[in-house]
Amino acid sequence: MACISKSFNGTSFDAYSSSFPHHITQFRRRIYSNSITFRCTSIKISSSTVPPLPDNRIIVGCGMTTVDFLATVDRYPKPDDKVRTTSFKVQGGGNAGNALTCAARLGLKPKLISKVADDAQGRSILKELEADGVDSSFIVVSKGGSSTFSYVLVDSQTKTRTSIYTPGDPPLVPDDLSQSMLLSAFDEARLIYFDGMSTETALFVGQEAARNNIPILVEAESPREGLDELLKLADFVVCSARFPQAWTQAPSIPSALVSMLLRLPNVKFVIVTLGEDGCLMLERSTNVDGDIEETDVESFLEFLYKEKDDSLTIPTCIPSHGITGLAKASMEVVTKFRANRIGTVCGRFFIGTAEKIPDSELIDTTGAGDAFIGAILYGSCQV
């Protein structure tokens, strides 16, 4: 579904860029255990293409974990309408919970910093995470209150979903987390991931992670209070299709990605997820030798997309290697991209296509982006 081209240590990702997120299906599949559907999309991995993981597979996530109540209907109801469900499931959810579950099923050892209440839903969340291999010992359990939950309405025709999110009470706040607790969570961690929720607490944890030189990946779904400060700490950003333009006010996604790298000088790459169209990544290049002729980013992407083979059903990675007007930089082929009235950035673009899945195999898109994040986390531990 995507390809990554730079490790979190600065080592090239190219050795496995053709393999790692490609094997995460974009849409949720059924995973049954005692008739209960668990979080996270199913995973298709080819042992011949995925490199073995190193001994240190520890990652940390900070964000939301929920109980999802999923009701499938033949069509979305209109105002004042009534519709009958065709199926109903209760399962774990939440951006961070889903992403770390995916990472655990891929073989990582994730730790989750979050909060639940000591209610039935909270106990269910903890039990399910532990069963999937996610370390829940850093999840704060409040006495009283309620755990986070969501109502999810799934359209069986379009396979799309609408979520109604109810935050937990009391929320996770910095005072819930001691420094000794954070240092224990950070022990041997290769990376920390923030889902962009609870930005006050995320910023508190992120600042401590930065002081401990732990690389930071931030997920950005939509602009919200406090997210700008969190993004300034990020080494890597993964965002929704609507976020780049909403955050930068740029006229297009390619121009917005250039703007994001200019506004966030510490970010090494930014990836935008595009649903069934896969993803687009812009990687920053530094220490560029020689003069590079500027290239209009819109024209460049238009040309690069012409390299896409729509007849292929399997995911492919289309890098900007070999396109005219490029120059060498640290053993990489890079381009100086110009976005009108925004500025220029030296780097490389990558188009990642998505697997074409027959409609008969689709259930809904719930958790698709979270599984993608899980694949990114998995890839970070392969170098």
pLDDT for residue 46: 45
Per residue in 349-365, pLDDT (tens digit) is 999 999 888 878 877 77
Report whether pLDDT(291) > 90. Answer: no
Report whether pLDDT(36) > 50. Answer: no
pTM for the structure as a whole: 0.85
pLDDT for residue 4: 33
pLDDT for residue 325: 43
Least confident of 27-36, 122-131, 309-318, 357-366: 27-36
Question: CB under 8 Å to 377, separation ≥6 — which residues?
Answer: 59, 99, 100, 102, 103, 108, 110, 191, 193, 217
Q: Are 282 and 349 in contact (CB under 8 A)?
A: yes
Position with higher pLDDT, 82 vs 332:
82
pLDDT for residue 33: 27
The domains located in the chain, with CATH, are 21-59+100-109+179-380 (3.40.1190)
Cα distance between residue 348 and residue 328, in whole Å: 11
Per residue in 172-228, pLDDT (tens digit) is 999 999 999 999 999 999 999 999 999 999 999 999 999 999 999 999 999 999 999
- Name which of 285, 256, 251, 284 is nearest 272 in CA terms: 256
Task: State the SS3 of the chain.
Answer: CCCCCCCCCCCCCCCCCCCCHHHECCCECCCEECCEECCCCCECCCCCCCCCCCCCCEEEEECCCEEEEEEEECCCCCCCCCCCEEEEEEEEECHHHHHHHHHHHCCCEEEEEEEEECCHHHHHHHHHHHHCCCECCCEEEECCCECCEEEEEEECCCCCEEEEEECCECCCCHHHCCHHHHHHHHCCCCCEEECCCCHHHHHHHHHHHHHCCCCEEEEECCCCCCHHHHHHHCCEEEECCCHHHHHHCCCCHHHHHHHHHHHCCCCCEEEEECHHHCEEEEEECCCCCCCCCEEEHHHHHHHHHCCCCCCCCCCCEEECCCCCCCEEECCEEEEEEEECCCEEEEEEEEEECCCCCCHHHCCECCCHHHHHHHHHHHHHCCC
- Please count the other Cβ atoms lying within 10 Å of the Cβ belonging to residue 105: 22
- Name which of 263, 198, 253 is nearest 227 in CA terms: 198
Report whether pLDDT(51) > 80. Answer: no
Per residue in 123-148, pLDDT (tens digit) is 999 999 999 999 999 999 999 999 99
Give the residues across from 214 on adjacent strands: none
φ, ψ of residue 382 in degrees (nearest 5)? -95, 0
Cα distance between residue 71 and residue 88, in whole Å: 5
